[in-house]
Amino acid sequence: MKPPLRPRLAPARYVTGPGAAAEPERPRAAWSAREKRALLAALRAQAALGLPDLQPRPLRERLPRRSEAEILSFLCRLRGRAAREAVRTQYRHCLEQQRQRRAQVPAPIEVWLELAETLAEGLEEATAAAFSQVLTVAATEPLSLLHSVPPHPAGTTAAPDQGGSAPGDPAAPPAPQPHAPGAFTVDFQRVYEYLARLCRGGKGPVLPPGESAVVLALLGSLPQELGVLDRAALHSHLRGAYGALTAPRHPQTDSPAPGMAPGVPPAPGTPATGWRGVGLCPLNLFLVPLRLLARAEPSG
């Protein structure tokens, strides 16, 4: 049998006229070392002039055998290669940092911070809001106002028709003392409001010199205050809390750890995780008794 008839078309190289195919692009010759040095010198010359954009025409003058399209295409390839190398180098640097962090023994404070984040289950915002509310209430406490310099009155006097207290009566609120201009002043209400805003994650207002000195004194006294605690009892409690919180638990059968309040019972078949599973409060994740945060009595 004869094969089916197929139309015969003339090769594209023989086609002439408007429909003729474009001449295939010749393969680009490799860049020689001499051309690369000439291109580098031209780029440095343009950089010295401080031109905002790349000018291909001066580059073309240094490279007569190359067209502007070839020069721009070669520069585009170089930029892509440099970007890939930079990303690869940064990635290797990040991996090396991660290996170093895994190899290093974490500091105790890092261990406790990681444990607190695990137990809080993303309740950092609620905890910060609670501390902010506590500090906001402390800003209006009469004792804080009385310790200010000069002290603020702790209340208002009774109405005239109900009979007020005499100026010398000890039950009457102290009147604000006269204050000389330029003297040292401390308003503890501003200090508590400043700390409350910081707990919220915002930026606190600019404090005057007196209140700034109080905040710096509080920060500087932390190491000294930690040194006067009952460290033996606090150390024993924290070791017990860490062992109880990191031990394997089965929420359906295990009972709460000693000294810990019972948590919300989980639903059948649902494992309890975080602070709900062990019955902790986000405001005091490690259930440190307040007596352990008081100064230890002097021995002898």
In a domain, 160, yes or no: no
Higher pLDDT, 91 or 145: 91
The predicted pLDDT at position 231 comes to: 86
Q: Which of 246, 270, 294 is the last residue of a domain?
A: 246
> Same structural domain for residues 39 and 140?
no
Residues 63 and 142 in one domain: no
Q: How far apart are CA 245 and CA 257, in angstroms?
A: 8
pLDDT greater at residue 161 or residue 288: 288
User: Is the same domain home to 149 and 88?
Assistant: no
| pLDDT > 60? residue 256 | no
| Residue 129 covered by a domain | yes
Q: What is residue 27's predicted lDDT score, i.e. its pLDDT?
A: 56
User: Which tens digit of pLDDT belongs to each residue from 50-75?
Assistant: 777 777 788 888 888 888 888 888 88
pLDDT on residue 236: 92
- Does the N-terminal peptide bond of residue 150 adopt cis geometry, omega within 30 degrees of 0? yes
- Looking at the fold, whether 42 and 115 belong to one and the same domain comes out as no
Sequence-distant (≥ 6) Cβ neighbours of residue 283 within 8 angstroms: 127, 130, 131
Q: Is residue 234 part of a domain?
A: yes
Same domain, 91 and 131: no
Whether residue 133 is found in the same domain as residue 79: no
Residue 127 and residue 75 share a domain: no
Query: For residue 146, what are the domain limits?
Result: 106-153+183-246
Q: Check whether residue 147 and residue 201 sit in a common domain.
A: yes
What's the pTM? 0.46
Question: Angle formed by the axes of helices 188-199 and 209-220, to 10°?
Answer: 60
Neighbour-count burial of 123, counting CB atoms closer than 10 A to its CB (0-12 exposed, 13-18 middle, 19+ buried): middle
134 within some domain:
yes
Question: For 161, which DSSP code?
Answer: G
User: Domain count of the chain?
Assistant: 2
- Asked whether the beta carbons of 210 and 149 are under 8 A apart, the reply is yes
Q: Measured between alpha carbons, how far is 14 from 109 in angstroms, rounded to an integer?
A: 82
Q: Output the pLDDT for position 73.
A: 87
> Quick one: CA dihedral 136, 138, 139, 142, positive or negative?
positive
Q: Is residue 256 part of a domain?
A: no
